[in-house]
């Protein structure tokens, strides 16, 4: 990957994580939501911050993972969800894997 593009993508990942950490997903209403799906957390994040969600910058390009998932889903979204859950701030685990509760 071209180094300037990689750096720009890494900056977007960091910016998205900072925004999500600060706003605590305030654009998602209270209730239980699945990570994926048409009305899921990923869909809501990409609708709210489309310029920061690059689907072509994949996890394996960013870290040691061999995942082909977009990095914005892995680092910023799931990372911030986990962090908020540990701090007991607005987010907790949902009824099954891949679901999150917002209150």
Give the N- to C-terminal CA distance of the chain in Å, as an integer. Answer: 40
Domain that holds residue 78: 3-89
| Residue 1 clears pLDDT 60, i.e. is over it | no
| Residue 2 clears pLDDT 70, i.e. is over it | no
pLDDT 10s digits, 75-103: 899 999 999 999 999 999 999 999 999 99
Q: Is the pTM of this model over 0.85?
A: yes
pLDDT 10s digits, 47-71: 999 999 988 878 676 666 677 788 8
Answer whether residue 100 is part of any domain: no
Domain count, the chain: 1
Answer whether residue 97 is part of any domain: no
Answer whether residue 39 is part of any domain: yes
Q: Which residue has the higher pLDDT, 17 or 62?
A: 17
Q: Which residues pair with 51 in a beta bridge?
A: none
Answer whether residue 101 is part of any domain: no
Q: What is the pLDDT of residue 8?
A: 86
Q: How far is CA 99 from CA 27, 30, 37, in A?
A: 17, 13, 11
Answer whether residue 94 is part of any domain: no
Answer whether residue 24 is part of any domain: yes
Whose tokens are 């593009």? That residue is: 5
Sign of CA dihedral 32, 36, 40, 44: positive
């Amino acid at each position: 990957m071209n180094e300037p593009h990689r750096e720009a993508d890494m900056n977007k990942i960091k910016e998205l994580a900072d925004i999500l950490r600060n706003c605590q997903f305030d654009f998602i209403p209270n209730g239980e939501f699945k990570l994926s799906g048409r009305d899921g957390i990923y869909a809501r994040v990409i609708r709210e911050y489309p310029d920061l969600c690059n689907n072509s910058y994949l996890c394996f390009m960013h870290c040691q993972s061999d995942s082909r998932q977009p990095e914005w889903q892995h680092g910023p979204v799931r990372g911030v969800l986990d962090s908020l859950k540990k701090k007991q701030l607005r987010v907790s685990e949902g009824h099954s894997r891949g679901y999150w509760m917002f209150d």
